[in-house]
Amino acid sequence: MNELEVMPRLAPAGTPAVASAALPVPTARYRPARTPARVTPGSGPAVTRAFRLRLRWSDASVVLAACVGVAITSGSANSLAVVALSLLIALAWLGALSVFRTRESRVLCVGVTEYRRVVGASAMTFGVLGIVVSVAQWDSARSFFLLSLPLGITSLVAERWLWRKWLGRAGNGGRALSRVVVVGTDSDVSYVVAQMRRKLGLAYSVVGAVTDVGGVDGRSFGASDVPVSHDLDRVADRAVELGADAVVIASVPRDRDGYVQAVSWSLEGRAIDLILATSLANIAGPRIRFRPVEGLPLIHVEVPQFEGARHVLKRGFDVAVAGTALLLLAPLLAVVALLIRWDSPGPALFRQERVGRDGGHFTMLKFRSMVVTAESDLAALRDLNEGSGALFKIRQDPRVTRIGRFIRKHSIDELPQLWNILVGDMSVVGPRPPLPTEVSSYEEHVHRRLYIRPGLTGMWQVNGRSTLDWEESVRLDLFYVENWSLVGDLVIMWRTLREVRSPAGAF
């Protein structure tokens, strides 16, 4: 769900639109010389090339192990034909990984697109293999479907994830796949720099900023160590000076019609890419389609769908996960309930009215983590509220019990909501389930959070939990509502398990 997309060079849209930009405009006969950006130690291109080379070798190792290894362990290695077939499948699989551009710099270490392409390439390989085997009636190839496909996909995804972890540790020294200069208004540049450092640190290293606010060049940007300049007409030269391999335009500076196109032209011949940070709120890549029309490139934005087959599939996934989890976790749930009853008087479960899909109310279940008089004690604690917006939170809430503090920290108190998921009140992944009092104070656009079922976990859970301010919490929920996918849900579930193991922001 990446908010940044590398854009191709923009086609000329007419001379009048560019005339207001002060950047140099090449003539029709001009062909700029190829001037590479200055390469510095640990620079983006060098890191990217080395990283992609490592990926090629590790992908090949995983695929060969999944194919040839299956032939050996199944006892079919004595057949030369089966070994040859395993090598042929491995080559086809590696070719599909290249055709699907799974090692493209734009998708590496950002979001779920990389994983989606790996799974798609693997599925395509075995889909074609299935057709060939069915036609040839080659029964000995069935073991590859039963073992190689699931083993290979799982190993490839795990391998890519491990490489991300490795790059994250290497990135602590200031290395990343791409070094960028961010351009735009002061506020927009500030937001993009913060988001890149918070969520895209593996892919982008911000080495400079150019803003429209006058001041002394060279100062640090905000609390960061990003050097800032204010000459909007020398963006390309600034990028070369800083050794950047991409320029990110966070927004078009005021009174600069045609500025994006002028920057694009000034970058020609400099081995520097142009990236646009979209200002269209809550719109992710899967909903955006480009339609090139002569003289007028169009961007199609799909309208979000809140019904249909995708939501039926999501519901089936919820039932399967919740039902399985309840069966496996039944002993743990019983032990937690006994500990709660032993720790403080009162029931083990806490029931509370929450607002679900389309504004309908339901009774949400949680393990009781507070004293039984918690709701009646709330009025006396209003002045201590540390939450923002409609949220009420206190870091050292005196109403929380000893057992309650532990189960809240590790989100164990939320497990009874598996029953709410099973009966259809909630989903495994979704927006945070709000209280009726919260909903009554919503602004009009915030009601879009109620278009789908609330979730046991969600983007709020894996992006700071209680430390999020109200605006950021709303932004994350609205983004999820309009752009969710099953692959994205699986990623959020995986990140939730990490948060539960090493909790941060829970109180």
Q: Is the pLDDT of residue 216 over 70?
A: no
Q: What CATH code would you report for 4-42+175-301?
A: 3.40.50
| Cβ(326)–Cβ(418) below 8 Å | yes
The per-residue pLDDT for range 230-247, each reduced to its tens digit, is: 888 889 999 888 888 889
Percent of the chain topping pLDDT 90: 18
**What SS3 state is found at 337?**
helix
Predicted local distance difference test score (pLDDT) of residue 367: 93
Predicted local distance difference test score (pLDDT) of residue 317: 94
Q: Is the pLDDT of residue 13 over 50?
A: no
* Mean pLDDT (the chain, rounded): 77
Q: Is the pLDDT of residue 170 over 60?
A: no
Q: Which of 206, 191, 186, 171 is nearest to 277 (CA)?
A: 191
| Cβ(231)–Cβ(224) below 8 Å | no
Sorting pLDDT into bands at 50, 70 and 90, what band is 8? Answer: very low
The alpha carbon torsion through 94, 100, 105, 108 (nearest 10 deg) reads -80
Predicted local distance difference test score (pLDDT) of residue 9: 35
Sorting pLDDT into bands at 50, 70 and 90, what band is 501? Answer: confident
**What SS3 state is found at 369?**
coil
Q: Is the pLDDT of residue 436 over 60?
A: yes
Q: How far is CA 114 from CA 9, 49, 103, 161, 169, in A?
A: 23, 17, 8, 10, 19
Residues 6+ apart with CB under 8 A from 4: 200, 204, 248, 275, 276, 277, 278
For the chain, report the end-to-end CA distance as a whole number of angstroms.
28
The per-residue pLDDT for range 20-44, each reduced to its tens digit, is: 444 544 444 444 444 444 444 444 5
Angle, CA of 460, 466 and 470, to the nearest 5°: 70
Predicted local distance difference test score (pLDDT) of residue 285: 58
- Mind giving me the DSSP string for 271-330? T-EEEEE--STT--GGGEEEE--TT--EEEEPPP-SSSHHHHHHHHHHHHHHHHHHHHHH
The per-residue pLDDT for range 410-422, each reduced to its tens digit, is: 889 999 999 999 9
Q: Is the pLDDT of residue 398 over 90?
A: no
pTM of the model: 0.64
The per-residue pLDDT for range 336-377, each reduced to its tens digit, is: 999 999 988 889 999 999 999 989 999 999 999 888 877 766
What is the mean predicted confidence (pLDDT) over 249-254?
A: 83
Residue located via tokens 């000076």? 241
Predicted local distance difference test score (pLDDT) of residue 224: 59
The per-residue pLDDT for range 132-151, each reduced to its tens digit, is: 766 766 666 666 666 777 88
d(CA 310, CA 304): 12
Sorting pLDDT into bands at 50, 70 and 90, what band is 495? Answer: confident
Sequence spans of domains, the chain: 4-42+175-301, 44-171, 309-501
**What SS3 state is found at 9?**
coil
d(CA 199, CA 463): 9
Predicted local distance difference test score (pLDDT) of residue 79: 65
Predicted local distance difference test score (pLDDT) of residue 70: 66
Q: Is the pLDDT of residue 275 over 80?
A: yes
Predicted local distance difference test score (pLDDT) of residue 18: 38
d(CA 153, CA 170): 26
Q: Which of 7, 491, 487 is nearest to 288 (CA)?
A: 7
Q: Is the pLDDT of residue 296 over 70?
A: no
H or E element that contains 479? helix 470-483
Predicted local distance difference test score (pLDDT) of residue 3: 39
Sorting pLDDT into bands at 50, 70 and 90, what band is 292? Answer: low
